[in-house]
Amino acid sequence: MKKHIASILLITLCLFSCTSGDDNYITFEDLYEEGEEFLTGELGVNSTSANAFGFEVDGLTFTEIGAFSTGNSLFNQNWVSAPASTTARDGLGPTFNARSCAGCHFKDGRGSPLVNGEDSSGFLMRISLPGQDLFGNANPVAGYNTQIQDRANNGVDYEAKINVTYEILNGAYPDGHTYELQKPIYSFSDEKFGSLEGILTSPRVAQQTIGLGFVNALPDDQILQFVDEFDADGDGISGKANYVWNVEENTTTLGKYGWKANAPSLKQQIAGAFHGDMGLTSSLFSEQECPSPQQDCADAVNGGEPEITDSQLEKVVFYQATLAVPNRRNFEDLSVLKGKANFTEINCIGCHRINQTTGISEIAAVLNNITIKPYSDFLLHDMGADLADNRPDFLASGKEWRTQPLWGIGLISTVNNHTFFLHDGRARTIEEAILWHGGEAENSKNAFKELSQEERQQIIDFVNSL
Amino acid sequence: MKKFLVLLPISFFVFACSNDDDNNSPNNDEITAAAVVVNYANLVYESYSDSYDAAVLMQTAITTFTETPTEDNFTAAKDAWLSAREYYGQTEAYREANGPIDTEGESWSIGNEGQMNAWPIDESYIDYVLTGTESYAGDYNSIIGDETYTITEEALAGSNEGVDDKSISTGWHAIEFLLWGQDNTAPAEDLPGQRSYTDYTTAENADRRAQYLTIVTNLLVNDLNDLVSTWNEGGTYRTVFEALDTDTALQQAINGAFFIAGDELSSERMIAPVDSTDGINASGQEDEHSCFSDNTQRDVYANAQGVLNVIYGSYGSINGASFIDLVKQTDPAQAATLEAAASLVATRAALIGDNAQPFDYLITQETSDSTDGPVMQCVVALFDLANEISASASVLGINLN
């Protein structure tokens, strides 16, 4: 292995010195860093199968494997409408987006963008009115609250259907190569509880759920070290923490999860998804999601109070927290190593950060004190007008999004059979996702566009190796 | 089939020469992966055939009952369901094997696993539910209660889960629910659902209920028939399977056994129910697959048996070149370990399958952090077996991850 790398290095050094012509001096460390393929230390898995996101981290005890298994079952199996004999699995709805967690996070992977005329599959629409509620959350829309549930149980109205059309945007690289982006334009139909005209909207697709326990175990300072809200260092990149309402702690704490970093903990993120996406109550969100005037919804039988018990919630949290991150593939490939160098050179790494270290995990001891390479700072960044949804979310402005961790990204096509990226899945490839970057990422994107086609491909190859 | 018969005399000769007491050839050339694959295909065909035949018997019993709805005929229909489950449970080891039952998007895909065996079901989507374990239960609109719904095969199949994300309206458990009704008794009473046969005579919607039962049974029989046909010699998938690279075919076949032992049966169907006994109203005991008939312990047994069938290449009259034979040729020590693990699963699955107590009672007596009881003991054995299947596959150069 060492020899193999060494020979690559020789070739690479020659190529760089022969072709680049600029003053980049590429050292050994720039090309291959010992152990760089292990994004979560020794806790990664080597699977490259369609189940690559479904494995637990190494080192769990028998009892922990049991908890993982039960969590897996509760995540994958459909929940059913109450009343049902399977009392531990009833309480779905009355309105909902999906029957199971896996309905959106198929094989613990990623949702697909909305397909016009079809019910959502891993896609949902957040909505709000301008302003904030008492907790700093977005203001609910009368009759609907803050999310459109496009499905419902028998005898209950779903809230509305969502439609999409795409506008094609043409662009070109400085070298003359052209590209095409598709910009989604959303609308509502069949609104059951009043017009949704003119409200604020934020389309979202479900993210892959690997490595979440590491993020949960990151001490705040590991995230806050990258904060540069007013760009004091003048590199064009800020990095802003979202502080959001923590339901369990009854106070505002650092946001870590979701497209806008609007969930402070893995437990709240999961309980929120059970509640908003599946209509299941828990000790964190105990009210049925039936805003007035949804009377059939309010009158529908529930699956107990709460519908998902604390024990079940803990098991799902444990399951999600201990889903392993796949180790990198093709990390020795010349193009990947060169792509990595350029990824750093054009400062993608300025937001897609690595080498944070977890503290003590309250979920699983095996996650303690692990240095990780998530390729994310988990902070908010202005991503420009083209990606803006213009819907604030706690401290996140309508232009700001949390940096998406890139670990596992190259396996999404294997797990989910698609390569749709960004918050609403508008990008059809990694290349398109890069080209949509704006705002604080404008310079990096432009630098990417200035690269040769071969160098652009090398960056894509590198991202695919993650 | 012909080829297989020709092999038999050779095998007998080999056995006769061998002083081993097990069914293995001492000659490295005797057992080939190709022979194991052929035997596997025979095994799949035979077990789907048996499952289909048993389902036809059930269909006949159900027809007899719906035409002459008496208590006796009702019992006979339920007995036929129980009998048929013994066969179907064993075929689950052919899932997750890239086969026609649960692979989508191939020309040979059937993808009818969900239509046959989806679980859990929203009972109230199908028929009435009554006050029982849940204090809040009551009468709800259902397909049977909705007279505007025309019950046809197409309609019920279309109402089942899938692209439209509907609730579950078909399959074994829908039939089970229509025969037994909800099990609203306490686990300690050792009673299944108490539906009365008068649901098919004098009760409201009796005719529609009978119609539903008939049609949903026909669907299941048809689904099984599709699997039998495609796995028959010359059948669509059999042809595809036999044309596969041998190692690929073997990997796919053994992956099904690995999946059932290490995941579906041990985790999904055993640990999770043990864990959910603290479900709401302390009534999570119905978190079991055959919750209406209280037949889950037999489901467990049959699933485990299916795994052993694949390992040993043996089922009914099929008894040929097997996975464990191949392993034995390459690494006898690993084969012995695999055999010990398989043997322990057989013992512990039988302890559940033949237990005087139903599964819903057993799981109320255990917790997943203790491995003292029969359910968690079986889980331990299944995990171990899955590990040994994986280790044995590695010996053959096959990676199951």
**By the CB < 8 Å criterion, does B267 face chain A?**
yes
* pLDDT at res. B159: 81
Query: What is the model's pLDDT at position B284?
Result: 55
What is the DSSP secondary structure assignment for residue A243, as one 8-state letter? E
Residues of A in Cβ contact (< 8 Å) with B267 = 69-70, 72-73
pLDDT in tens, B58-103: 999 999 999 999 999 999 999 999 999 999 999 999 999 999 999 8
Closest chain A residue by Cα to residue B136: A301
Q: How far, in Å, CA of A436 to CA of A438, rounded?
A: 6
How far apart, in whole angstroms, are the C-alpha atoms of residue A20 and residue B293?
73
> Mind listing the pLDDT tens digit for each residue in B291-317?
999 999 999 999 999 999 999 999 999
Peptide bond into B69 cis (omega under 30): no
Distance CA B290, CA B243 (A): 37
Rounded to a whole number of angstroms, the distance from the CA of A95 to the nearest CA of chain B is 13
Across the interface, of A67, A86, A311, the residue whose CB is closest to B287 is A86
Backbone angles phi, psi at A123, to 5 degrees: -130, 140
Side chain identity at residue A429, one-letter code: T
- Best mutation target among A77, A85, A282, A329 (most B Cβ atoms within 10 Å) is A85
Length of chain A: 466
d(CA A434, CA B393): 42
Calculate mean pLDDT across residues B190-197: 92
pLDDT for res A82: 83
Residues of B in contact with A303 (CB under 8 A): 280
Q: Do A46 and B401 touch (CB under 8 A)?
A: yes
DSSP class of A55: P
Tokens of B263: 């995941």
Interchain CB distance below 8 Å, A77 and B182: no
CB neighbours of residue B17 within 10 Å: 11
pTM score: 0.87
Q: Residue A80 is nearest to which of B120, B136, B267, comparing CB atoms?
A: B120
Find the angle CA(A280)-CA(B158)-CA(B132) to the nearest 5 degrees: 45
Q: Which pLDDT value is given to residue B136?
A: 39
Query: Rounded distance, CA B287 to CA B269, Å?
Result: 9
Of B138, B274, B287, the CB nearest to A89: B287
First to last CA, chain A: 19
What is the 8-class DSSP label of residue B28?
A: T
* Residues of B with Cβ-Cβ distance to A98 under 8 angstroms: 165
Q: Which residues of B52-76 are buried (b: 16+ CB within 10 A; e: fewer)?
A: bebbbbbbebbbbbbeebeeebbeb
What is the pLDDT, as a whole number, of residue A83? Answer: 79
Choose the mutation target among B275, B359, B376 for the interface with A, i.e. most A CBs under 10 Å.
B275
Q: How many CB atoms lie within 10 A of CB B3?
A: 9
Distance (Å, rounded) from C-alpha B178 to C-alpha B168? Answer: 13
pLDDT computed for residue A85 by the predictor: 80
Q: How confident is the model at residue B400 (pLDDT cuts 50, 70, 90)?
A: confident
CB B242 within 8 A of CB B230: no
Interface test with A, best of B165, B182, B290, B295 (most A CBs within 10 A): B165
Lowest mean pLDDT among A72-81, A442-451, B276-285, B348-357: B276-285
State whether residue A147 is helix, strand or coil: strand
What tens digit of pLDDT does each residue of B89-145 get?
999 999 999 999 998 889 999 999 999 999 988 888 899 886 444 443 444 568 898
- B166 — pLDDT class (breaks 50, 70, 90): low
Closest CA to A211 of A34, A57, A50: A57
Question: Would you give per-residue pLDDT tens digits along chain A (466 residues)?
Answer: 344 444 444 444 444 444 444 445 555 556 899 999 999 999 999 988 889 999 999 999 999 999 999 999 999 988 888 878 888 888 898 999 998 999 999 999 999 999 988 777 899 999 999 999 999 999 999 999 999 999 988 788 999 999 999 999 999 999 999 999 999 999 999 999 999 999 999 999 999 999 999 999 999 999 999 999 999 999 899 999 999 999 999 999 999 999 999 999 999 999 999 999 999 999 999 999 999 999 999 988 888 889 999 999 999 999 999 999 999 999 999 999 999 999 999 999 999 999 999 999 999 999 999 999 999 999 999 999 999 999 999 999 999 999 999 999 999 999 999 999 999 999 999 999 999 999 999 999 999 999 999 999 999 999 999 9
Residue pLDDT, tens place only, B315-338: 999 999 999 999 999 999 999 999
